[in-house]
Chains A and B, each alone.
Chain A
């Protein structure tokens, strides 16, 4: 059936025509006149949607033949529905691409039964990292790691979207620090969580870098929030570096070390790093089916590189993408393969933790 695939045939003919017409540039991939459908498994206006809509016109410009790139929002199941649909239907001629986010990666990592997709079937061509900051209500009188005992002495509420959502490594971090955090699940977005903090319902909160800069920094300046630590930037080898957006803020690892007097280690820390890698170091990714022809994948890699290396990219990306290095082409894919292979022991640890602490069964 795959051989009879219409668009596959079309690209074969196109390929043949290209070979006849331009015998010199054999590998040139041409998308002229084509429409590329970019599935975004989230609703309009959310972080991943805005991210895709930022890249879509640039991708259209940078791909050979300047194809039209349209964003197709398929919300539902916290991104699982859209990703499932993509896994089932996507054509492997480069005309179907998918945008993923932490909430697409985590359930796949944990073996959620609703997941019908496998990241191993996909090739990443662009990955956008992000970071995040944890901050508390000043009423606890906590300013840094030295006050950890004060923090531990309180039951603090945390407004969260869900145990397996973006906040997962944050929740695990709280557990490692021995804090008595009571998460309130079911927030519609991180923004709704921040509102709960502003209302004084939640005592501790977490926002991604761009949201922190635009919405929490004014609270910090007004004395209504105290930043504790960033999550840091985790590389494939498990090294945790300071967040380039907040170079003066300690990372979770530094905070932990100063609070407890020892470096974090053990299964929990390995699991934390794995979650950081899969959900933050590569928070949003552009993937396409790995069966796509090599020159198609190469064309995407080159396009992503061209976009990211454009002189005014940083300026246009602004706070939304932050000061993080975008991974493109084979680098992105290598990072994906690394991030999505989870040691079975760690996976077991995570599922046990979710089931014991939050009653979530995978």
Chain B
């Protein structure tokens, strides 16, 4: 076995193969940096090369791409406060405040170093696990997977900030939004209002972008400065690396968490970062800086999300069942190369298996190396006046949202979720809680039904279920006992007691959503009804509690960072900017994406940014050129526009 591993390493390291691996890494980094794009876009670039390649090079290239997506996405999370992909959602919580504080380079290099270590640990685990993981993966049935979704939901206790009630209500609303679409057990349509788009549910990219990207862009515009509040870049990359080396056990623990969660098909990479993040919060003595720019909050999710890829390869290779979204892409690539994954492959083609493992480790090294080199120059972007960056970010967000299902409705949903995100931020509702609920809703429902149908109610007594339940209880206990002080929503305003009416109104709106969920659930068949009914009632009770607590002036629930301005009868500009973005969506719908950007860019730069026409023209050309190039190179699509369709 050892000699095969070494000869596989020799093959991977030889010139030609290495070149393809690096090519894959470069594509993976670009795909990771651009939010909303995943393995699909990467695959469409690499595919033309795949034909006629020898399997070692081709596998190296594919693995190279897939492995570094969670490395590249850190740039977007730290620099813009937008999750570059679902695996880096939690990195935003501390990475972005660090960038605001002028420590972007430190945050980035800490992230890349932990990505590197996490990735290598993942490859290591994979190389041992591949020979004996079969019983482990087989021991996770739908019942254990359901308990894991509950464990994931219990993270809300840690991520709720000051008010657990608000956290539960937000998670409940997330679950409600996540159960829009077709009921998994019966195929009945739920809360779709007869809109075709909603039959498949709202895409994750759209929800994550709406909740995080739109409010961040608007918040920065409102402040009217650069992202970074200080002028220096701070300690730079050496400091970030030292940060990671100071916490070796944290990296090891989070990487192990990442491997295990990645190895379970079905749960996916979308929660692994939250679990790692909660883990670091729970186990740290000084929690006061989490959510405000604690470097450990960057190290934890970043070590976990790269290790997750190694874990995800276990079921992919052993069973031919993809462990995550990007592994589905990798699986497709393998089949195209004429390699059938499965036990047979692992046992008889050990050389290929080791090729994959070595490529994974190497890709992590190459990817992290490239990123560390780029970290400092890219971090300078945080010092550009934000008003110049805003149109780029809006363009990227809309571009990414549209790739979710290539429907104009994606952009409408983006604006709606953006509005929700803005007010959640303003009134101090933890957005991560909503996102976790949303991500876990389909899994929770599906696995619960499957568990009940496979085992009746006996599933509760399965040893695995009991173990995970105990871990969940301990985790919730720790989360509550040490009262998380993390605030993902910034500081409140001193006048917040006086705008209680508005705060109640927003909470009431969420209450109505929960009530509607209950109302609609009541009309479905039994199996279609149970889940939305339970979560609807949960969200209803929690949001009702929030309403009552705000009315009675409880400090933990009162939050309004716009209170003083509102009392003075002024607007902070949030609604205005949201209206501008909504207008942009309408324009895209009317005349198509590129023409709309050609109108929007100069208008925004000149009016809001006071840019000179020539500068505005050059920036417009650059942005439109960039997006066209990406669209062409990755064979993506852009909205065409009603007018264009009619004329031609």
Q: Which residues of A contact B (CB under 8 A)?
A: 1, 4-6, 43-46, 49-50, 53-54, 57, 70-77, 81, 84-85, 114, 157, 159, 162-164, 182, 184-186, 188-189, 191-192, 194-196, 198-199, 201-202, 211, 214-215, 218, 316, 318-320, 359-360
Contacts and interface: CB of A to CB of B under 8 A. Distances in A.
Given A71-B44, A76-B405, A186-B449, A50 B142 contact: no
Given A57-B51, A74-B405, A84-B196, A184 B450 contact: yes
B555 interface: no
B575 interface: no
Given A81-B405, A218-B343, A195 B321 contact: yes
Contact of B138 (A45, A84, A198, A318): A198
A185 B635 contact: no
Contacts of B322: 45
Nearest to A76: B200
A101 to B, nearest CB: 15
Interface stretch (B152-160, B211-219, B325-333): B325-333
Contacts of B141: 196, 199, 201
A184 B454 contact: yes
A162 B446 CA distance: 12
Interface stretch (B15-23, B180-188, B295-303, B561-569): B180-188
Nearest to A214: B340
Contact of B43 (A44, A81, A163, A360): A44
B277 interface: no
B319 A70 contact: no
A186 B265 CA distance: 15
Interface in B288-313: none
Nearest to B525: A359
A318 B340 CA distance: 10
Given A77-B196, A185-B186, A195-B138, 15 more contacts: A1-B646, A4-B648, A5-B648, A45-B331, A50-B332, A72-B637, A74-B406, A76-B199, A186-B450, A192-B321, A199-B141, A201-B141, A214-B344, A218-B342, A316-B338
A50 B266 contact: no
A162 B450 CA distance: 13
B31 to A, nearest CB: 13
B343 A73 contact: no
A67 to B, nearest CB: 13
A159 B187 CA distance: 16
Contacts of B344: 214, 218
A155 to B, nearest CB: 11
A198 B140 CA distance: 11
A186 B184 contact: yes
A71 B46 CA distance: 13
A188 B265 CA distance: 10
The DSSP consensus for interface residues of chain A is mixed
B115 to A, nearest CB: 24
15 contacts: A44-B329, A46-B332, A71-B44, A74-B406, A76-B200, A84-B196, A157-B453, A184-B449, A191-B321, A195-B265, A195-B319, A196-B450, A198-B319, A201-B455, A316-B338
A275 to B, nearest CB: 18
Contact of B196 (A45, A81, A185, A316): A81
Contacts of B449: 184, 186
A77 B199 contact: yes
Given A45-B332, A198-B138, A214-B342, A185 B185 contact: yes
Contact of A44 (B200, B332, B450, B453): B332
B39 interface: yes
B455 to A, nearest CB: 8
Given A4-B648, A81-B196, A188-B266, A53 B47 contact: yes
B350 interface: no
B141 to A, nearest CB: 5
Interface of B: 39-40, 43-44, 47-48, 51, 138-139, 141-142, 182, 184-187, 196, 199-200, 265-266, 319-322, 328-333, 335-336, 338, 340, 342-344, 405-406, 446, 449-450, 453-455, 525, 527, 635, 637, 646, 648
Contacts of A50: 332, 335-336
Nearest to B181: A77
A43 B185 contact: no
Given A72-B635, A192-B321, A162 B187 contact: yes
A207 to B, nearest CB: 11
Rank and list the top 7 A-B pairs by shortest CB-CB distance, nearest first: A45-B332, A45-B328, A6-B648, A186-B184, A214-B340, A191-B321, A201-B454
A162 B527 CA distance: 14
A99 B142 CA distance: 32
A218 B251 CA distance: 38
A346 B366 CA distance: 60
A50 B184 CA distance: 25
Contacts of A202: 454
B329 A45 contact: yes
A318 B342 CA distance: 16
A43 B265 contact: no
A195 B186 CA distance: 22
Contacts of A44: 39-40, 43, 328-329, 332
B54 to A, nearest CB: 15
A182 B321 contact: no
Contacts of B139: 199
A54 B336 contact: yes
A359 B454 contact: no
A215 B320 contact: yes
Contacts of B332: 44-46, 49-50, 53
Nearest to A192: B321
* Most B CB within 10 A of own CB, among A5, A72, A215, A319: A215
A49 B40 CA distance: 11
Contacts of A198: 138, 319
A81 B446 contact: no
Given A50-B335, A77-B200, A191-B319, A43 B328 contact: yes
Contact of B320 (A159, A162, A214, A319): A214
Nearest to B319: A195
A189 B637 CA distance: 27
Contacts of A57: 48, 51
Contacts of B40: 43-44, 73
Contacts of B405: 74-76, 81
A159 B266 CA distance: 15
A93 B217 CA distance: 43
Nearest to B331: A45
Nearest to B644: A6
A318 B48 CA distance: 20
B186 A360 contact: yes
B335 A186 contact: no
A318 B186 CA distance: 37
Contacts of A189: 321
A185 to B, nearest CB: 6
B240 to A, nearest CB: 34
Nearest to B182: A77
Nearest to A315: B338
A196 B199 CA distance: 27
A84 B182 CA distance: 17
A75 B646 CA distance: 26
Contacts of B338: 316, 318
Contacts of B51: 57
Contacts of B446: 186
B265 A192 contact: yes
Nearest to A189: B321
Nearest to B442: A186
Contacts of B44: 70-71
B275 to A, nearest CB: 21
